[in-house]
Amino acid sequence: MKRILSGIKPTGAPHLGNYFGMMKPCIALQEQGEAFYFIADYHALTTVRDPEAMREHTRGVALDFLACGLDPVKAVIFRQSDVPEHTELAWILSCFTPMPMLENCHAFKDHLAKQKTPVHGLFAYPVLMAADILLYDSNVVPVGRDQKQHVEVTRDIAGAINRTYPKAGHSPGGDGLFVIPEPSIIPHVATVVGLDGQKMSKSYDNTIPIFDAEKPMRKKIMGIVTDSSPVEAPKDPSVSTIVALYRLFAGEADVEKMEADFRAGGVGYGDFKKRLFDALWEYFRPMREKRAALAADPTHVDGVLASGAARAHAVASATMERVRRAVGLR
Ligand code: TYM
């Protein structure tokens, strides 16, 4: 039975990039193995400084995930900080992680390029991620393309430790002390674009949260950046953010119709944006209704997270016992 694991940071409301790049694939994979999905609040602490916002977004992400179809009986959903073994393993892994490997990671390099002073947590971020993954003997890690490098770092750290302790008790997968994980990235949604055509990201302020209210969501869609072609001019669908986003929701025939209307000219960007909004709004309608029903009982999410924490902890504590023994801490 395959172990599937992934995480999402509670740094704001989940957006279309999070949904198509990670949440939707995670929900599909809950049918195919033992799935562990967590809300990465330790990771979020590298940037979030408002404790109320941290708590609110943590519950919000859980609610969104459940509304989108995560089944808490099939999959384990939990809060990272409820399982302190994550940070214990991160320390052990960091003792085997060459500094240059972390200096080469893109989040750290981007920070330096912007002349910002990174905190140590940002530098060590990929090591904590490796701990998240290795703690559950994960085989498959469904993520967007921006996380691929982090899974590669995980594989390198796990390989180095497996070679250091060849006689250690083996993981159930049998690779050595740790299972070597594989990223799972779905090519056509690996990098969902945002309102300005760059990668959709909370840090670029170009996101469309999946459960925005109607008015702000409409306003965001109408604000998608386009060129200044007049209504009558033919337009190129292959470079359009509107078409790229429409493809996520619309059926093949509707996408072909929009592409043909782009090429023909005579339709303005405003009309295309309305079509996009309608498709988007309809797509999330059933999930929005489910979210409202779940939110009506505030204790429900807390219960789901508490039971997820207990199930996650059982696995994490067994792995930690194996690791402590292997490295001589017991
Ligand atoms: P986070 O919270 O930034 O994003 C959660 C997931 O959403 C994906 N994603 C996207 N996919 C496609 N297009 C986009 N525009 C887009 N924006 C975000 C991300 O790739 C990610 O899969 N470090 C992780 C959280 C984490 C984690 C882990 C993931 C912590 N530990 C262990 C996997 C395994 C993060 O910051 O995700």
Give yes or no for a contact between 124 and 111, defined as CB atoms under 8 angstroms apart.
Answer: no
Calculate the CA 309 to chain-centre distance. 19
Q: Are residues 85 and 224 in the same domain?
A: no
243 and 96 share one domain: no
What is the best residue among 4, 9, 15, 18 to mutate for testing ligand 1's pocket, by most ligand atoms within 8 Å of CB? 18
How far is residue 17 from each of residues 7, 46, 200, 203, measured CA to CA in Å?
14, 21, 6, 13
**What's the pLDDT at 171?**
72
The H-assigned helical ranges of the chain are 16-18, 24-29, 41-44, 51-67, 85-94, 99-103, 106-113, 120-134, 148-164, 214-222, 241-249, 252-264, 269-283, 285-295, 298-327
Q: 267 with 236: CB under 8 angstroms?
A: no
- 262 C-alpha to center of ligand 1: Å? 33
Task: Please report, in tens digits, the pLDDT of each residue of the chain (330 residues total).
Answer: 899 999 999 999 999 999 999 999 999 999 999 999 999 999 999 999 999 999 999 999 999 999 999 999 999 999 999 999 999 999 999 999 999 999 999 999 999 999 889 999 999 999 999 999 999 999 999 999 999 999 999 999 999 999 999 877 777 666 789 999 999 999 999 999 999 999 999 999 999 999 999 999 999 999 999 999 999 999 999 999 999 999 999 999 999 999 999 999 999 999 999 999 999 999 999 999 999 999 999 899 999 999 999 999 999 999 999 999 999 998
Decide: helix, strand or coil at residue 278: helix
Same domain, 245 and 103: no
Expressed in angstroms and rounded, the spacing between residue 58 Cα and the centre of ligand 1 is 15
State residue 298's pLDDT score: 87
- Nearest-atom number in ligand 1 for the CA of 142 is 22
25 and 107 part of one domain = yes
In a domain, 198, yes or no: no
Index of the ligand 1 atom closest to the CA of residue 21: 11
Could you tell me if 244 and 309 lie in one domain? no
How far does the centroid of ligand 1 lie from the alpha carbon of residue 19, in Å?
10
Q: Does residue 206 lie in a domain region? A: no
pLDDT in tens, 252-265: 999 999 999 999 99
In a domain, 290, yes or no: no
pLDDT digits (tens, 9 = 90+) for 160-181: 999 999 877 777 666 789 999 9
DSSP tag of 326: H
- Four-CA torsion 65, 70, 73, 75, nearest 10 degrees: -90
200 lies in some domain = no
DSSP assignment of 134-152, as one string? Answer: HTTT-SEEE--GGGHHHHH
**How far does residue 138's CA lie from ligand 1's centre (Å)?**
16
Taking Cα atoms as reference points, which of 80, 121, 89 lies closest to residue 102? 121
264 and 317 part of one domain = no
DSSP state of 11: S
C-alpha dihedral, 11 to 286 to 29 to 87, nearest 10° = 20
Measure 21 CA to ligand 1 centroid, in angstroms. Answer: 8
Q: What is the CATH number of the domain that holds 137?
A: 3.40.50.620
- d(Cα 9, Cα 23) in Å, to the nearest integer? 12
The pLDDT of residue 1 is 87
Cα(323)–Cα(178) distance, integer angstroms: 9
Which helix or strand (DSSP H or E) is residue 37 part of?
strand 34-39
Cα 236 to chain center, whole Å? 31
Q: How far apart are CA 42 and CA 49, in angstroms?
A: 12
Strands 182-184 vs 34-39: parallel, antiparallel or unpaired: unpaired
Does any domain span residue 8? Answer: yes
Whether 152 is in a domain gets the answer yes
Do 163 and 239 lie in a common domain?
Answer: no
Give residue ranges with CB within 6 A of ligand 1: 6-9, 17-18, 21-22, 40, 43, 129, 132-133, 141, 143-144, 146-147, 189-192, 199-201
Asked whether residue 291 is assigned to any structural domain, the reply reads no
Tokens of 132: 């998240």
Residue 201 lies in a domain: no
Same domain, yes or no: 90 and 172: yes
**What is the pLDDT, as a whole number, of residue 174?**
66
Integer Cα distance of 72 and 8 in angstroms:
16
Task: State the residue range of the domain holding 100.
Answer: 3-191+297-327
Side chain identity at residue 221, one-letter code: I
Output the domain CATH number for residue 232: 1.10.240.10
Q: How far is CA 142 from CA 10, 25, 93, 209, 257, in A?
A: 18, 7, 22, 20, 32
Residues in the chain: 330
Same domain, 88 and 168: yes
Sequence-distant (6+) residues with CB within 8 A of 82 are 305, 308, 309, 312, 313
* Number of domains comprising the chain: 2
54 and 106 fall within a common domain: yes
Nearest to 182 by CA among 242, 141, 220: 141
Model pTM above 0.95: yes
